[in-house]
A and B are shown apart, each in its own frame.
Chain A
């Protein structure tokens, strides 16, 4: 696949790689367009570029002009750039807007065998389709606009093989948090993570996206999963998927991409999915997590390199080593993001919320990953389930994943969040605290008002609802 996209070798030893799909959004593109203009260049392949707005959009009222003038300026800048260069923009109210990593797959834009680039580190998500997908900086966004290609070094590949099957109440999010916990947040530097094995093969496309989405949190620039029947079934009939004869030819080609079972990897690691339990982060990196059944580690029990950051984490989080994460009270519960803002995520959370009430004093809200997800959820009545339980039902965007819009923590509030980063200050308050977990675990935490074990909340009908 790499070979097929290789345009040339560049001085300095890097490869010029053709970009099949370029995704842009309002935060990392304006400077790239400005640079293009300064250099007197045009957009080489506007038809291979797609734009949307996600990072700064408010999720309550999306009336234009937006209340925040800076946010409004970013939106109008993107709109102007797209109009000038003939780039397709799925904007607010188009029915197709949403987080860039949610909409490209659901519109059938992301396909096996493609290279996908976007000025956002969670572009690794698209690797779930058997695509080579990586996040890029703004200079590279400019490069892709100008040449539909980038200069990149080939990555090593680590196979992450997962046997067994996820237990009830354990989700893809738990699996990837577990992997990052074991391999560390720097463990994947220089690697692409290729996930495979019986447990991965059983996952739906949405679950696979959750896994690849967070490969970057383990330090790996790309996540990858071989395409299979589940992939093809997901893609069939989507807006930008091939149709008619091209569909059959496409499936044949896609199948040929993954015949290489004996591929030799630079490294190989095995996990067993049945060992994994609901997992929650307690610290300030996505690698600092434990099972809901465990107690938080004593810094002394950790390796030298982990100890310092663990001490820093305890200080920042105001949590105590040796205590369980179970029972820690929460102020805010956020369900959404490109990790867990898809329909199956909302269904899992709704299954827990159904017929229950959010604990007094807890602010809980649900932000669908895209307008399409929002519409589908409403068709299934999920918004009613959430609202009846006391959750707010919002409009699509990144929201409190990084809090560039009005959704943010205040002071040292602590959140249960289905997003992907628990860095200091990530959710909009420089002393705000974030606990990462699966959307169902967030819903359970909202009901209980504290971190709890979702397995005690599983409805009998969960199977149907999921």
Chain B
């Protein structure tokens, strides 16, 4: 279905798809995308390189290599996911692999912001609930789930759990206003006003 595979656009109320479980706390951006892949001028190949070193080590049994997980779109993680460097290559790699939403106990601040800028919601749930969700998915990886941002829950025939999301980012996704660029450029009149009053743009005469 092309709707799932195209990159996020506009209003994001729900993400539909299979789930993939990635266990462990403090998974840093160096692991998500090792530094050597930063030597690139486009994000387009990053999908294949996501978790490259971890995957090599696990020789085919890494969650991102397991057959049943190919095509999954919701990533379920544990605590402090995405810590470390500010590289946007990390969410880009996940997105290009196919991830459209994440649910975890907590996310590192910059990673969270980078995801939001791509239209990828990062919802949270307690350690206990994450555990339950992860167990349910592992029982039947072929199950299709719906992350519903309006109802703030994730559900399938295997069960339903509430998830949380800060109201600001939530509203941005629900209203399709997570794409900062177009909003920022739409304020051209205010940008000009700001420029007029900044001393260093006016020979310090203001």
B49 to chain A, nearest CB (A): 14
With contacts A74-B39, A249-B205, A430-B53 taken as known, whether A121 is within 8 angstroms of B200 at the C-beta atoms is no
**B172 surroundings in chain A (CB, below 8 A):** 11-12
When distances are taken between beta carbons in the complex, the residues of chain A under 8 Å from B86 are 120-121, 135-137
Question: CA of A49 to CA of B84 in the docked complex: distance in angstroms?
Answer: 27
Contact A5 B198 (CB under 8 A): yes
Which residues of chain A have C-beta atoms less than 8 A from B114's C-beta?
A: 137, 139
Pick the contact of A246: B169, B193, B203 (CB < 8 A): B203
Which residue in A5, A114, A147 is a CB contact (below 8 Å) of B184? A147
Known: A246-B204, A250-B200, A250-B204. A41 touches B181 (CB 8 A): yes
Q: Is the CB of A137 within 8 A of B191?
A: no
Quick check: is A6 within 8 A (CB to CB) of the other chain? yes
Q: Which residues of A contact B140 (CB under 8 A)?
A: none
Say whether A62 faces chain B, with CB atoms less than 8 Å apart. no
A138-B191 in contact given A253-B199, A425-B30 (Cβ < 8 Å):
no
A-contact 0/1 string along B181-195, CB 8 Å cutoff:
101110100110111
Query: Does residue B118 face the partner (Cβ distance < 8 Å to A)?
Result: yes
Interface 1/0 per residue, A23-49 and B, CB below 8 Å: 000011011001000010100100000
Contacts of B201 in A (CB 8 A): 20
Q: Which residues from chain A contact B118 at a C-beta distance below 8 Å? A: 139
Contact A34 B42 (CB under 8 A): yes
**Contact residue among A6, A10, A77 (Cβ-Cβ distance under 8 Å from B183):** A10
B110 within 8 A of A: yes
How many Å lie between the Cα of A4 and that of B177 in the bound state?
25
The chain A residue sitting closest to B184, CB to CB, is A147
Task: Give the chain B neighbours of A242 by CB distance below 8 A.
Answer: 200, 203-204
- Asked if A146 and B194 make an inter-chain contact with CB atoms under 8 angstroms apart, the answer reads no
Chain A 161-186 against B: per-residue CB contact (8 Å), 1 yes, 0 no?
Answer: 00000000000000000000000000
What are the residues of chain A within 8 A of B48 when measuring CB–CB? none
| Separation of A109 and B110 alpha carbons in the complex (Å) | 27
Contact assessment for A189 and B109 in the assembled complex, using a CB-CB cutoff below 8 Å:
yes
B168 at the A/B interface (Cβ < 8 Å)?
Answer: yes
In the docked arrangement, what's the CA distance between A143 and B89, Å? 16
Chain A residues within 8 Å of B204, by CB: 242, 246, 249-250, 252-253
Q: Is the CB of B38 within 8 A of A404?
A: yes
Interface positions of B from 139 to 180, Cβ below 8 Å from A: 168-169, 171-172, 175, 177, 180
Chain B: minimal CB distance from A29 (Å):
9
B175 proximity list for chain A (CB < 8 A): 11
In the bound complex, do residue B197 and residue A4 qualify as a contact, i.e. CB atoms below 8 Å apart?
A: yes
Q: How far is the CA of A164 from the CA of B58 in the complex (A)?
A: 53
Nearest chain B CB to A130 CB, angstrom units:
12
Q: Per-residue 0/1 for B3-22: is the Cβ within 8 Å of any A Cβ (1 yes, 0 no)?
A: 00000000000000000000
Q: Please tell me if A306 contacts chain B, counting CB pairs below 8 Å.
A: no
Q: Which residues of B contact A136 (CB under 8 A)?
A: 86
Which residues on the A side are within 8 Å of B181 (C-beta)?
Answer: 39, 41, 139, 142-143, 146-147
Which residues does chain A contribute within 8 Å of B84, judged by CB atoms? Answer: 423
One of B40, B110, B185, B199 near A147 (C-beta < 8 A): B185
Q: Answer whether residue B102 sits at the interface, using C-beta atoms and an 8 A cutoff.
A: no
- Cα distance A30–B184 when bound, in Å? 20
Please indicate the chain A residues that have their CB under 8 angstroms from the CB of B40 in the complex: 30, 70, 74
Check A13 against B30 for contact (C-beta < 8 Å): no
**Minimal beta-carbon separation of A165 from chain B (angstroms):** 33
A8 within 8 A of B: yes
- Given A12-B172, A143-B181, A150-B184, are A73 and B198 also a contact pair (CB < 8 Å)? no
Chain B: which residue is nearest A6 at the CB level?
A: B194
B191 touches A12 (CB 8 A): no
B119 nearest CB across to chain A (Å): 10
| A466 is an interface residue with CB less than 8 A from chain B | no
Instruction: For A81, give the chain B residue with the smallest CB separation.
Output: B41
Query: Which B residues lie within 8 Å of A31 (CB)?
Result: 41-43, 88, 92
9 residue pairs of the A-B complex, CB under 8 angstroms, read A27-B39, A71-B39, A137-B114, A140-B117, A143-B184, A149-B184, A242-B203, A250-B200, A253-B199
Interface residues of A (CB under 8 A from B): 4-8, 10-14, 16, 18, 20, 27-28, 30-31, 34, 39, 41, 44, 56, 70-71, 73-74, 77, 111, 113-114, 120-121, 135-140, 142-143, 146-151, 189-190, 242, 246, 249-250, 252-253, 402-404, 423-425, 430
Q: Give chain B's interface residues, CB within 8 Å of chain A.
A: 30, 35, 38-43, 53, 84-89, 92, 109-110, 113-114, 117-118, 168-169, 171-172, 175, 177, 180-181, 183-185, 187, 190-191, 193-195, 197-201, 203-205
8 other A-B residue contacts (CB within 8 Å) besides A7-B193, A12-B171, A121-B85: A4-B194, A5-B194, A18-B191, A31-B43, A74-B40, A135-B86, A140-B117, A146-B181
